[in-house]
Structure 1
Amino acid sequence: MNKKVVITIGAVVLAGVITAGVYFLGGSKSDASNGEGVYVDSVSMITGMGGIGLQNRFSGVVEPQETLEIKLDSGKTVKECYVEAGQEVSIGTELFLYDTGEMAMKLEEGKLELESISNEILSMNRQIATLETEKANASDDGKLEYTIQIQNLQNSVKRAEYNKTVKDIELTQLQKSIDTAKVTSNIQGVVKSINKTGMDQYGQPVAYMTILATGEYRIKATTNEQNIYALTEGMPVIARSRVDSTLTWNGTINKIDTESPVDNNNQNGGMMSPGGGNVETATKYHFYTTLDSYEGLMLGQHVFVEMNNGQGEQKEGLWLPSYYLVEMDGENAFIWTANDKDKLEKKAVTLGEYDADMDQYKIVEGITPQDYIAFPQEGLEEGTKVIKDGGEIAE
């Protein structure tokens, strides 16, 4: 995907975020267009000319690309642990050893049972051979009784052979468990935690040991249900330091997890509104970002994640995203704007240069950063009252 396509997708999705964002400003745009009022945003906010601009920020944290969680095998206990939390491990590092004492005892008992079954089969086959010989020398009246005895023994042999097969499989698994009792790491990383019981407070199985992979990192960010569907995999983003907003890292969204909602009771992350406050939502989700470079970042560091709409590149003049423009014809177009009576009207603007990468037009004449404009949508009519920046309907 070339840069033009990626940025254009990001710009189109921004339109969706702007639409969703009005939920946090007082209501939905679709509701506003039903004769109640239309939401409008300042041009300075949309273009960033008034400071930060209309830019959703999401809470994120630097984490490893891979996390290895090792759960204890059912019915097994740990005899010895060779590592501790915080220790670095490599591929092949011995982590812990299962207690094989009980398994070894079961293995010996199983071998004795297997030998007993084999002897039983051998004995029954011998009985069958003897009965076959006696049947051949018996009278016609006596052959039927021999036939019944032989058939019963043959059925018993089949059952014993089945039991032998089952026991063979069981012993093979036991032997494999004993041979693999020493567990090793298959990744390079750091031991994050060790749960000695392998159970949580409710008695449910959890990871006995968690290992965080080192070398490759990613950003795990949190968003809410209104914004999750405005994000797409491959969308360009910027990770911004919480401490120094001038420190940024470029990247792309590589995974959006809509299948596993975040437990709000144990999650403080979420979308940050342009004003910096947390937005309370009913449901939150994680999405993941890979960065072009992780230089200067540390594992566990908290950052902000925002869509890359070119906010790091300042251009001279007023540049407006193309999705605000309607009825475009060469250098002329219209926008929906709030007039001096706080009513909606369609206003002509003159277009200048076009930035294909950002899908933005330079506005030569028609509006200023102090004007308020509406996002184009079905049902807009001139004369409708406007609602500025999430406030009350203008009287």
Structure 2
Amino acid sequence: MKKKWLITIIGIGILSIVGLNIFLLVKSKFSHSNVTSVQTFEVKMQQMSDTLVASGTVTPREEERIFKDESMGSIKDIFVSEGQEVRKGTELFRYDEEEINNKMKLLEISRSRLSLELEQYREKLDNLEADFKHNLKDTLQIEESLRQAENNKNELERQVKYIMLSIQQNEMELTSLLKKRDNLVVKSVVSGVVKKITRNANKSTTDSQDPIIHIASNEPYKVKGTITEFDSVFVKAGQPVKVRAKVLSSEVWEGKIESIQLSPSQNVLNAGVEKNASVTSYPYEVALVDNRKGLQDGYHVSVEIQINVKDNVLTLPHDVTFAKDSKEFVFVVVNNRLQKREITIGLMNDEFKEVLTGVNEGDIIVRHPKVEWKDGMEVKVDAPTS
């Protein structure tokens, strides 16, 4: 009996030890499975800037619109075609020289007629002097002769001056026509592509005129737009920008502010008056600094202007912070446990926030935190992201 009891006691002990080991193993696995796995971000120093977003339109860097000079007469020949690529100095079209030649002939006839009239009036002046000397023989009429001779002389001298002025005007018009005749052929002043040719470019009812030829330069393009008076105080020439086309939202072109007009154009002022606008807009231009393909003339784009640029500041992505009781917090991972910290924020843009206090360079911050998490909670850390 004693032997049986001893065997029974030993069996119970072995079963207890095995059961305890199984319990501890299961507990360990269960406890490990409850540890939250988190994504993290390592705090780094980098450049930070605030972003101002404006709208604009892609335009050629250079354009030339050549209008018809009515004083040159009609156009005889056009030497280019739409879509043709031209260089600076390319002959574009030629005015008809026949009209200018006819005007010059008329001026030459007018000058000859004026010269004859001038000669006639000078002869009258000479004759007036001879008549005056003859009338002096009659002393009874000397006073009347002097008075009449003076009046006639003044009138003839006025006629001579008038004719001489007419001759000067004639010579000026003739000189102008000679210059025009030397410039009958119109040449381009920019290199580019002929976008449009209007052979019968007449003034419309709005008193505007279509150009005979419109030339636009090839890439690189530039961007033109307007910003409000509230944003204009932050924008200066030379500031870097990012340009995104609405039809190519995944593509980004680098550029910089080339100019900003600090007084509104007359068109903008007129538009503001007509619409009773309470905010004035100011024109700006952006020069693109990369020549990647994709943009087209006329594309509508958004322009992200970098303002308030700071170097070497602590930055965090938006998805690591959470708000509670009007304050902002992050969870820092220390020895695989969470440490809740309050932070203060400086600049912000679409990607990052500047952190003024609360974290240090190299800290590991939890991404996508939950408000219900507590200090000291154990977590499993994935590889930090940048």
Q: Which residue of structure 2 lines up, in the alignment, with residue 106 of structure 1?
A: 103
Summarize the alignment of residues 1-395 of structure 1 with structure 2, pairs less than 5 Å apart.
57-75=53-71, 76-139=73-136, 140=139, 141=142, 142-195=145-198, 196-200=200-204, 202-214=206-218, 216-223=220-227, 227-242=231-246, 245=249, 247-257=251-261, 258-259=264-265, 286-300=283-297, 303-308=301-306, 317-318=315-316, 340=325, 349=343, 360-364=354-358
CA deviation after TM superposition for structure 1 residue 155, in Å: 1.1
CA deviation after TM superposition for structure 1 residue 116, in Å: 0.7
Could you say if the C-alpha distance between residues 244 and 185 of structure 1 is closer, same or farther in structure 2, counting changes exceeding 3 Å? closer
Structure 1: which amino acid aligns with 2:174? L
**In the aligned structure 2, how far is the partner of 1:81 from the partner of 1:113?**
33
Instruction: Report how many aligned residue pairs link the two structures.
Output: 279
Structure 2: which amino acid aligns with 1:152? E
CA deviation after TM superposition for structure 1 residue 191, in Å: 1.1
CA deviation after TM superposition for structure 1 residue 305, in Å: 1.8
Structure 2: which amino acid aligns with 1:71? F
Could you say if the C-alpha distance between residues 191 and 314 of structure 1 is closer, same or farther in structure 2, counting changes exceeding 3 Å? farther
Structure 1: which amino acid aligns with 2:358? V
TM-score scaled by length of structure 2: 0.59
**In the aligned structure 2, how far is the partner of 1:118 from the partner of 1:145?**
27
CA deviation after TM superposition for structure 1 residue 198, in Å: 3.9
Deviation per CA, 1:176-228, whole angstroms, max 9, x where unpaired?
22221211111111111122324346453232221112365322245556645
2:219–2:291: 8 Å Cα contact kept in structure 1? no
**In the aligned structure 1, how far is the partner of 2:326 from the partner of 2:55?**
39
What percentage of residue pairs aligned between the two structures are identical? 26
1:69–1:209: 8 Å Cα contact kept in structure 2? yes
CA deviation after TM superposition for structure 1 residue 71, in Å: 1.3
Deviation per CA, 1:234-286, whole angstroms, max 9, x where unpaired?
322112354655543322111235315579x9xxxxxxxxxxxxxxx987664
Structure 1: which amino acid aligns with 2:176? Q
Structure 2: which amino acid aligns with 1:217? Y
**In the aligned structure 2, how far is the partner of 1:85 from the partner of 1:231?**
39
CA deviation after TM superposition for structure 1 residue 97, in Å: 1.4
RMSD of the TM alignment (CA)? 4.4
**In the aligned structure 2, how far is the partner of 1:94 from the partner of 1:351?**
62
Q: Which residue of structure 1 lines up, in the alignment, with residue 12 of structure 2?
A: none
Say which is worse superposed, 98-107 or 361-370, in terms of deviation: 361-370
**In the aligned structure 1, how far is the partner of 2:293 from the partner of 2:304?**
18
Could you say if the C-alpha distance between residues 370 and 298 of structure 1 is closer, same or farther in structure 2, counting changes exceeding 3 Å? closer
Say which is worse superposed, 163-172 or 96-105, in terms of deviation: 96-105
Say which is worse superposed, 248-257 or 359-368, in terms of deviation: 359-368
For residue 146 of structure 1, give the secondary structure of its aligned residue in structure 2: helix
Could you say if the C-alpha distance between residues 55 and 234 of structure 1 is closer, same or farther in structure 2, counting changes exceeding 3 Å? closer
Could you say if the C-alpha distance between residues 316 and 341 of structure 1 is closer, same or farther in structure 2, counting changes exceeding 3 Å? closer
1:59–1:221: 8 Å Cα contact kept in structure 2? yes
CA deviation after TM superposition for structure 1 residue 132, in Å: 1.8
Could you say if the C-alpha distance between residues 129 and 176 of structure 1 is closer, same or farther in structure 2, counting changes exceeding 3 Å? same
Q: Unmatched 5+ residue regions in structure 1?
A: 1-52, 266-280, 321-336, 353-357, 372-395
1:261–1:285: 8 Å Cα contact kept in structure 2? no
2:50–2:306: 8 Å Cα contact kept in structure 1? no
Deviation per CA, 1:17-39, whole angstroms, max 9, x where unpaired?
xxxxxxxxxxxxxxxxxxxxxxx
For residue 91 of structure 1, give the secondary structure of its aligned residue in structure 2: coil
**In the aligned structure 2, how far is the partner of 1:168 from the partner of 1:205?**
31
CA deviation after TM superposition for structure 1 residue 57, in Å: 4.0
1:319–1:361: 8 Å Cα contact kept in structure 2? no
2:244–2:252: 8 Å Cα contact kept in structure 1? yes
Structure 1: which amino acid aligns with 2:265? E
2:97–2:184: 8 Å Cα contact kept in structure 1? yes
CA deviation after TM superposition for structure 1 residue 146, in Å: 2.7
CA deviation after TM superposition for structure 1 residue 121, in Å: 0.8
Structure 2: which amino acid aligns with 1:259? S
CA deviation after TM superposition for structure 1 residue 92, in Å: 1.7
Structure 1: which amino acid aligns with 2:171? D
TM-score scaled by length of structure 1: 0.57
1:319–1:363: 8 Å Cα contact kept in structure 2? no
Deviation per CA, 1:42-77, whole angstroms, max 9, x where unpaired?
xxxxxxxxxxx9855444443222211111113433
**In the aligned structure 2, how far is the partner of 1:318 from the partner of 1:134?**
109
